[in-house]
A = this chain, B = another copy of it.
Amino acid sequence: MIKTSELKKLVSKIFIKHGLSKTDAVISSNALINAELVGAYGHGLSRLKMYCDRIKKKVINPKPKIRIKKISQSISHIDANNSIGFVAADIAIKTAIQKAKKTGIGMVAVKNSGHYGLSGYYAEQAVKKNLITMIYTNAPPAVAPHGALKSLFGTNPICFGTPTGSNVPFILDTSISMINRGKIRVAARNNQKIPEGVALDKFGRPTTDAKKALEGVQLPIAGFRGSGLAWMVDILSGVLTGGNHAGKVKDPFDDFSGPQNIGHLFITFKTNLFVNNFNSRIKNNIKTIKKLPKIKGIKEIMYPGQNKYKRFKMNSKKEINITNSIKEDLKILNN
C-alpha cells in the first residue's frame, strides 16, 4: 500500500531518470496513476516498464520537439515527434479546448505519437471546461476485420464525453473489441471457457476454448457493424492524421523496431451552440432514463462514466495497492 501522492512522485522521478522533462514526467505520471484510480489497470502501472524500455531503446523520444501547426482558427495539426503519448495527447486536448472556446468548435489531429492510455482521461479535461468532445485513437492489431482471419484493427476506442449538469461527467470510452486479450490469456491459464461469439480459432471457426482463441482472432462487437466502427476509427485517427493505419501500429510491448506513430483525433465543441439551456436539457435526459422500469437485479441505470467516477472517488481516498510485480518494476526502474 502506498499513498497516491507518493506514488505520483516516484513515477515522475522514474520518468525524469529516463530523460523526460519534469513537466512531461508529471503529465505522464498523472495519467498512469489516474488509470490505477479508475480501475483500468491495463492502462496503469503495468505499462510503466514498457514506456521506460521504449525510451531506452530510442523508440520513444524523451525530449521531443512537438510542433503545433495551425490550420485555421478551429483546426490544428500536431507532429508529436515520437513523444510519449501522454504528452502529445495533453497538448492536443488543451489545444482543442482553446479552439472550441474561441470559435465554438475545435479539431486537433496528432501524428507521430504513442499509446496515451485512456481516451476518457482526456475527454474529462474537455468536459471540465464545459465542452462536448469526441476522441479517436488507433492501436496495434487486436481485432479481425469482419470476414478476415487475421487481426488488423486495434481495439480502436470510440470516446464521447459531455457535461451532465452535475459533477459526474458522461464519458463513453468503449473499445470495439468483444473481449480484451488479457482476459483470454487469463482464461487459457486457468483452463476456463470464454463466452461464445468473442473469438475464432485459427481456422476461423467460433470457439469458446481460450487456448484456441489465442491462436485465432478476437472479434469486433456486433459483427459487420463493429468492424465498420473499428475501420472508421482507423481512418479518422490514422489515414486522416498522417499516423500509422491498416495494422501498422507496432505493439508497444513486443516490437521495438521503431516508433509506433500512433495518430489521434480530438474534436471539441461548446454545449450552447444551439440551445441556451443545455445543462437542464441533459439533466432531464438522464433523469428520464434513470426513472425507467428496471430489469430484476438492476439497482440503477448507469450512464457511461458513472462507475468509473465512483471508483475514482473511492480509490482516491485510500492508499493504492500495488502488485509485487509492479513493486519490483518500480524498484528496478528507480535504480
Q: Which residues of A contact B (CB under 8 A)?
A: 71-72, 74-75, 77, 103-105, 107, 109, 111, 132, 144-150, 152, 158, 160, 162, 170, 172, 174-175, 178, 200, 203-204, 221-222, 224-226, 228-229, 231-232, 234-236, 238-242, 245-247, 267, 269, 271, 273-275, 278, 281-282, 284-285, 288-289, 292-296, 298, 300-304
Contact = CB atoms under 8 A, between A and B. Distances in A.
**Identical copies of this chain, number:** 2
Contacts of A269: 107
Nearest to A110: B274
B292 A228 contact: no
A195 to B, nearest CB: 11
A244 B74 CA distance: 29
Given A145-B289, A160-B232, A301-B148, A275 B242 contact: yes
Contact of A71 (B104, B158, B245, B303): B104
Contacts of A226: 221-222
Contacts of A278: 239-240
Contact of A109 (B72, B229, B274): B274
B149 A292 contact: yes
A200 B267 CA distance: 36
A125 B144 CA distance: 30
A71 B274 contact: yes
